């Protein structure tokens, strides 16, 4: 079992740490393979000139306080592009509801765990290279066997009232829900063989991407 990104889930619901140059709490994660980082980030609205500058997240400056730009940090590991954002929603997820919608990316596999601070609970999304898409609440099956097996192995699939008595399900949730997000991020880390340094993320030492509002 990987502990490479479990830490994101462990801190996800904690109070914010003031003055942190990077991120620790409330992080949404989006990963993709079958596309390079620049192309993927631009497809979501990031400006090419900002990416080309190579600015680090810790050196970001708000362009205009009247806008609601999302500041993300990104990297590439093995086949996967990854980027992290703080609330309210992951940019990739939020674009479901935007007037323009999301750009279809043929042959690209995408996983997104979005924090949804304004409308909990968090959601887990998975797009297969064939374009099959699922968006489910944390603890639920996505319907994609390989990714669901990773979630099961990490203990991130919880019983539903369809399978067990409601009382048993509620007891199970109350006992284990604090560890659910760490398990979900563990599953994503195992599935993608992904390691993201907590120290580097907290320090803001990864490259910056700026996304415009989805609406």
pLDDT digits over 31-49, tens only? 999 999 999 999 999 989 8
- Domain annotation covers residue 169: no
- Domain annotation covers residue 76: yes
- Domain annotation covers residue 67: yes
Residue range of the domain that includes 88: 6-132+194-211
- Domain annotation covers residue 97: yes
- Domain annotation covers residue 22: yes
Number of domains in the chain: 1
- Domain annotation covers residue 118: yes
pLDDT digits over 82-113, tens only? 999 998 889 999 998 776 778 889 999 999 99
Rounded Cα distance, 22 and 36, in Å: 24
Q: How confident is residue 215, by pLDDT bands cut at 50, 70 and 90? A: low
- Domain annotation covers residue 139: no
Q: How confident is residue 117, by pLDDT bands cut at 50, 70 and 90? A: confident
pLDDT top residue among 1 and 165:
165
- CB count within 10 Å of CB 93 equals 23
- Tokens at residue 184, please? 């979900």
């Amino acid at each position: 079992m990987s502990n490479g990104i479990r830490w994101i889930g462990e801190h996800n619901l904690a109070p914010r740490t003031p003055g942190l140059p990077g991120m620790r709490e409330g992080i949404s994660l989006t990963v993709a393979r079958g596309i390079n980082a620049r192309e993927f980030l631009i497809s979501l609205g990031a400006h090419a000139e900002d990416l080309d500058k190579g600015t680090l997240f810790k050196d970001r400056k708000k362009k205009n306080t009247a806008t609601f730009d999302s500041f993300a940090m990104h990297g590439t590991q093995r086949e996967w592009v990854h980027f992290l954002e703080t609330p309210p929603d992951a940019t990739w997820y939020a674009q479901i509801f935007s007037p323009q919608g999301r750009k279809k990316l043929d042959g690209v596999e995408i996983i997104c765990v979005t924090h949804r601070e304004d409308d909990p609970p968090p959601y887990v999304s998975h797009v297969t290279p064939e374009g099959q898409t699922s968006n489910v609440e944390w603890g639920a099956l996505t319907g994609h066997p390989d990714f669901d097996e990773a979630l099961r192995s990490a203990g991130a699939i919880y019983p539903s009232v369809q399978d067990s008595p409601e009382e048993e399900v509620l007891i199970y949730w109350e006992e284990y829900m604090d560890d659910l997000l760490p398990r979900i991020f563990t599953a994503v880390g195992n599935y993608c063989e992904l390691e993201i340094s907590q120290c580097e993320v907290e320090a803001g030492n990864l490259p910056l991407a700026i996304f415009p509002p989805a609406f």
